[in-house]
Amino acid sequence: MSSQASPVDLKIHHPHNFRFNSIPDSHDWSHDLYHHPSVQVQSIGLDSVPVIDLNDPNLIDKIGKACQQWGVFLIRNHGIEPELLNRFGSQIHRLFALPVEVKLKVAKTQGTDSGYGGVPISQLFPKFMWYEGFAITNASPVHQAQILWPDDYSSFCEVIEEYKKAIIPLGYRLMHLMLLSLGLTEEEIDNSLIGDSSQIKDAIHLNSYPACPDPDRVVGLAPHTDTGFVTILYHNGVSGLQVLRRKDDIGPARWVTVPLVPDTFVVNICDLMHVLSNGMFHNVVHRSTVNKTHQRLSAAYFFGPQVDVKVGPLSELTGPEQGPPVYRPMTWLELQKLKSMLHDKALQSMKIENRGGQ
CATH number at residue 20: 2.60.120.330
Cβ atoms of residues 345 and 239 within 8 Å: no
Rounded-to-integer distance, Cα 41 and Cα 30, Å: 20
In this structure, is residue 291 part of a structural domain? yes
Rounded-to-integer distance, Cα 268 and Cα 205, Å: 14
Beta-carbon contacts of 40 under 8 Å, excluding residues fewer than 6 positions away, are 242, 254, 255, 256, 257
In this structure, is residue 356 part of a structural domain? no
The pLDDT score that the predictor gives to residue 248 is 76
- Options 19, 76, 296, 328, the catalytic residue: 296
Rounded-to-integer distance, Cα 146 and Cα 141, Å: 9
For 240-294, the three-class secondary structure string (H helix, E strand, C coil) is CEEEEECCCCCCCCEEEECCCCCCCEEEEECHHHHHHCCCCCCCCCEEECCCCCC
Alpha carbon distances (Å) from 27 to 8, 14, 40, 303:
16, 10, 21, 30
The pLDDT score that the predictor gives to residue 254 is 87
Q: Own/partner pairs for 7-11, CB < 8 Å, 24+ apart?
A: 7/104, 7/107, 7/108, 7/109, 7/117, 9/118, 10/100, 10/104, 10/107, 10/116, 10/117, 10/118, 10/132, 11/100, 11/101, 11/104
In this structure, is residue 219 part of a structural domain? yes
What is the sign, positive or negative, of the torsion defined by CA atoms of 307, 309, 315, 320?
A: positive
Cβ atoms of residues 244 and 53 within 8 Å: no
The pLDDT score that the predictor gives to residue 121 is 81
The pLDDT score that the predictor gives to residue 13 is 47
296 is catalytic: yes
The pLDDT score that the predictor gives to residue 142 is 94
The pLDDT score that the predictor gives to residue 253 is 84
The pLDDT score that the predictor gives to residue 40 is 53
The pLDDT score that the predictor gives to residue 265 is 98
In this structure, is residue 170 part of a structural domain? yes
In this structure, is residue 233 part of a structural domain? yes
* Domains of the chain: total: 1
The pLDDT score that the predictor gives to residue 246 is 84
Q: Which domain holds residue 305?
A: 7-351
In this structure, is residue 69 part of a structural domain? yes
In this structure, is residue 212 part of a structural domain? yes
Grouped pLDDT means (10 residues each) for the chain, 358 residues = 41 44 80 52 66 98 97 97 97 94 87 82 84 87 95 95 96 97 95 87 94 89 94 95 85 88 97 97 95 94 94 94 93 92 91 60
CB count, 10 Å around CB of 97? 11
In this structure, is residue 199 part of a structural domain? yes
The pLDDT score that the predictor gives to residue 32 is 64
The pLDDT score that the predictor gives to residue 91 is 98
